[in-house]
Structure 1
């Protein structure tokens, strides 16, 4: 049985199956083991295997034939995965815009935050941490709620409205990242640093913590795009 790492399961299953396809573990036209066998081999639930297969089929690597099975397509081994490249390029653009908005928001929030605001932010950050291993959509919603609260504290109506307009895109893009990009860096420490800087009213430290958080992800996505 394969031992998966701690964290979201579907991205790990998808990556493992993708690597096996790339390495020629199954040849073009060959049928994959059924869902039950794959789930038992990987030590995961059938729903996780089903979702991973669906994602690989969407990217054109697998052909799911109802009533017959799942087959490897004739895509050349080692060829660039266009679906992955497009997702990563979109993520990079989203994070570059997010960084531009949130760095200035953090700087302004540090100058205007009140003690009662810190208690609310601390509760929001605690909620985020509690959901680290939850479903990606739940975790991302909690994470963005924490950042939305920081933007609100900036006291800039235009900045607040721009962030609110970007929220649906941010949510969908980040959920997509968690589902498709395994082994993402843990940026919890940068979040804690941001809260600490806000509590101290240190605008420069708040901006630096925000840069550290977002730049870590931006660098990870850029590296993934370059390696694809």
Structure 2
């Protein structure tokens, strides 16, 4: 017997929630293609129509992107991040940087208060990865490591809302880095806002952490105005 729309909707909602949880947990990383329809239908035990309804809902929220002939990709880890990412398309780089100033400085101050030894070790490892990639001229890996560093500082703030807001900058931040590295005189391994920031976080010095971030973002602002 064919299920009516009234019966199918709760199932679609359930599958949407399951897909959302897979994305949010990191099972499907950002920018990566999710499994094919046949794989997901078998894994979730649902029909193609129900699965497509769930995917459509998450695509509408900005979490997924359906690319014809290529597959479906993860675009954000939550509806809030997806909505924010769409909003950024309507604003200038200067406006985005001004918002980042608020998020970065607060993340730095909170990280100086709450970061664990594991956080500090992870931050230093990301900087080492960033340095190696820059010297190897692997600029895609350099940009990923640089973004990963800043995202880990936000995570170390232990404020999940701030972290989620910060993650929504991922695409914008990554794309901007890849644009900047080709500009003459660009320094891809700035000490401010990176090494000095980790030192301040490890020393539990919130003021020094904020000052390091401000110096780095002021430099970014100068590049945008150049």
Task: Name the TM-score class by shorter chain.
Answer: 0.5 to 0.7
Counterpart for residue 109 of structure 2: 107
Q: 1:186 to 1:138 in 2, by over 3 A?
A: closer
1:187: Cα distance to partner? 5.0
1:136: Cα distance to partner? 2.5
Mapped contact 1:152–1:160 kept (Cα < 8 A): yes
Structure-1 separation of matches of 2:198 and 2:100? 18
Q: Which of 1 and 2 has higher RCO (CA within 8 Å, sep 6+)?
A: 1
Structure-2 separation of matches of 1:188 and 1:176? 16
1:200: Cα distance to partner? 0.3
Structure-2 separation of matches of 1:201 and 1:214? 21
Unaligned runs of 5+ in 1: 1-88
Mapped contact 1:107–1:206 kept (Cα < 8 A): yes
Name which of 151, 154, 158 aligns with 1:155.
158
Question: Does 1:121 find its partner at 2:145?
Answer: no
Mapped contact 1:94–1:170 kept (Cα < 8 A): no
Q: Which moved more, 1:182-191 or 1:111-120?
A: 182-191
Structure-2 separation of matches of 1:119 and 1:170? 23
Mapped contact 2:120–2:202 kept (Cα < 8 A): yes
1:186: Cα distance to partner? 5.0
Query: CA RMSD of the aligned region, Å?
Result: 1.8
Counterpart for residue 219 of structure 2: 216
Q: Which moved more, 1:119-128 or 1:105-114?
A: 119-128
1:92: Cα distance to partner? 2.9
Counterpart for residue 184 of structure 1: 186
Q: Map 1:4-23 to 2 at 5 A.
A: none
1:95: Cα distance to partner? 2.4
Question: Does 1:202 find its partner at 2:205?
Answer: yes
Question: Does 1:146 find its partner at 2:149?
Answer: yes
TM-score (norm 2): 0.55
TM-score (norm 1): 0.54
1:188: Cα distance to partner? 2.5
How many corresponding residue pairs? 134
Unaligned runs of 5+ in 2: 1-90
Map Cα deviations across residues 13-36 of structure 1 (whole Å, 9 max, x no partner). Answer: xxxxxxxxxxxxxxxxxxxxxxxx
Name which of 113, 135, 139 aligns with 1:136.
139
Map Cα deviations across residues 124-163 of structure 1 (whole Å, 9 max, x no partner). Answer: 1111111224233221111000111100000111111111
Counterpart for residue 19 of structure 1: none
- Structure 2 counterpart SS, 1:132: helix
- Structure 1 counterpart SS, 2:168: helix
